[in-house]
Amino acid sequence: MRRRKSTFNDFFDLLFEVSGDFWQFGAAVTVALGVFSLLALKWAVGKSAAASAATGTSLAVFQNLSWAFYLVPIMLAIFTVIFGWKAFTAYAKQNNF
């Protein structure tokens, strides 16, 4: 029996496929992901600083693992680069670049 892909995977595949056909859509997705990665970086810096200064709170668990908060913006940045590259290749293909 075959496992069904998650809705997130279906959505990601759809975005990636449409980005390959329409470079404008890929550029818009790239900009949106870039903004989200910057917001996630701002969140990670705040959480990392709070975890470093925390004593006796729930964030004290992350005191030695404060770098883990940076995984979210790093993953979003990787998706941004992937979609940016896909948008660029669609643009180059469309304009014989």
Please, which residues have CB within 8 angstroms of residue 18's CB and are 6 or more apart in sequence? 25, 26
| Cβ neighbourhood burial of 58 (10 Å; 0-12, 13-18, 19+) | exposed
pLDDT at 1 over 60: no
Residues 65-94 have pLDDT tens digits of: 777 889 999 999 999 999 999 999 999 998
Residue 33 token pair: 């992901």
The predicted pLDDT at position 50 comes to: 76
The predicted pLDDT at position 58 comes to: 62
Residues 40-64 have pLDDT tens digits of: 999 999 887 776 665 555 655 666 6
pLDDT at 14 over 90: no
The predicted pLDDT at position 61 comes to: 62
Residue 49 token pair: 């600083």
